[in-house]
Amino acid sequence: MLTRRFPSLSATLAGAALFCVAMSVQAREYSVSTVLSADFPWGQAAEKWAELVEERSDGRITLRVYPNSQLVSGDQTREFSAMRQGLIDMAVGSTINWSPQVPELNLFSLPFLMPDTEAVDAITGGQAGEMVFDAIESRGVMPLAWGENGFRELSNSKLPIDSPDDLDGLKIRVVGSPLFQDTFTALGANPTQMSWADAKPALTTGAVDGQENPLSVFDVARIDQVGQKYLTLWHYMNDPLIFAVNQRVWQQLPEEDRELLRQAAIDAGQWEIEMSRAQKDERLEAIKSRGVEVIELDEAQRQAFIDATQSVYETWTPEIGQALVEAAKQAVESR
């Protein structure tokens, strides 16, 4: 009887071992980079993506979110390169931060191209959006879905700004993109490039007079506490977010998992966009309640800024691509 039981036990153990190996092969964990933490809508978008993937894969796929540009030592402009090289598996990234490697992404930084959220949606949801995704894919990264960092507004410590003349000589902190340098130079300001980690100390000491960021960043990061008393709602550009995957990782995934990741990204992006837009009025009231003077431009005032920045289009349209810029303009006009 014993001789009959031992083979049975061996078969059972062998089967269990094979089951464990199969489970370990199926269970996967991937890194997801993002610049901001879950205190901000940007970080919440990444966390939502991870949550949906975990839920829909029954725990078989885990997305581990690394906020604050941890995986690139705080240098957010290196995120796309790191993902392309496979040092990062996935990311929820900014068109601004990825534009040094994907020039077409500078489309969204063209000043005053998108007057409202309907214009943003018309671009991302149409031919121009498809062209941008094609450009990203051609550089070794698979884009899956759009999110939103929001319109970037202008704050400063000196005066209410409602015309280009008000910017004359002001030192404005800008991100590491030559297009931003050109935009603020055209407006008569003195653009100063620095990382966000360096920006708040510089604003505190007065080394720079102002900065530009979405309302969510102004609100959550309490930029009013570093002397930013004036906030101009000029909607000069919108920074969409992009959910993306390293192409080699993508190619190794079975089709079922690709579809799961893509749909989860689409759903997380739509959730984050709706949430961000719904919070706008509440954030604005919170900012006003802290003593910040908010300036809203009328059409004539906004047109003055548009006229002052036309040279940026002349310089950057060839870099971005004439066909792409025209597709975006057409989408805005026909929205």
pLDDT attached to residue 267: 98
CA–CA gap between residue 132 and residue 317 (Å, rounded): 14
Question: For residue 150, how many other CB atoms are within 10 A of its CB?
Answer: 25
pLDDT digits (tens, 9 = 90+) for 32-85: 999 999 999 999 999 999 999 999 999 999 999 999 999 999 888 999 999 999
Q: What is the pTM of this model?
A: 0.90
pLDDT digits (tens, 9 = 90+) for 122-137: 999 999 999 999 999 9
What the block records as the tokens of 54 is 């975990």
Q: Which residues, including other chains, have CB under 8 Å from residue 228's CB and lie 6 or more apart?
A: 155, 156, 157, 203, 210, 211, 218, 292
pLDDT < 70: residue spans in the chain: 1-26
* Angle at alpha carbon of residue 90, lines to 236 and 140, rounded to 5°: 85
E strands present in the chain? 28-33, 61-66, 90-94, 141-156, 171-174, 190-193, 210-214, 230-233, 238-246, 293-296
CA–CA gap between residue 182 and residue 312 (Å, rounded): 6
Domains, the chain: 28-333 (3.40.190.170)
pLDDT attached to residue 8: 52
What the block records as the tokens of 39 is 């205190």
CA–CA gap between residue 114 and residue 123 (Å, rounded): 9
Q: Dihedral sign, CA of 49, 55, 61, 66?
A: positive
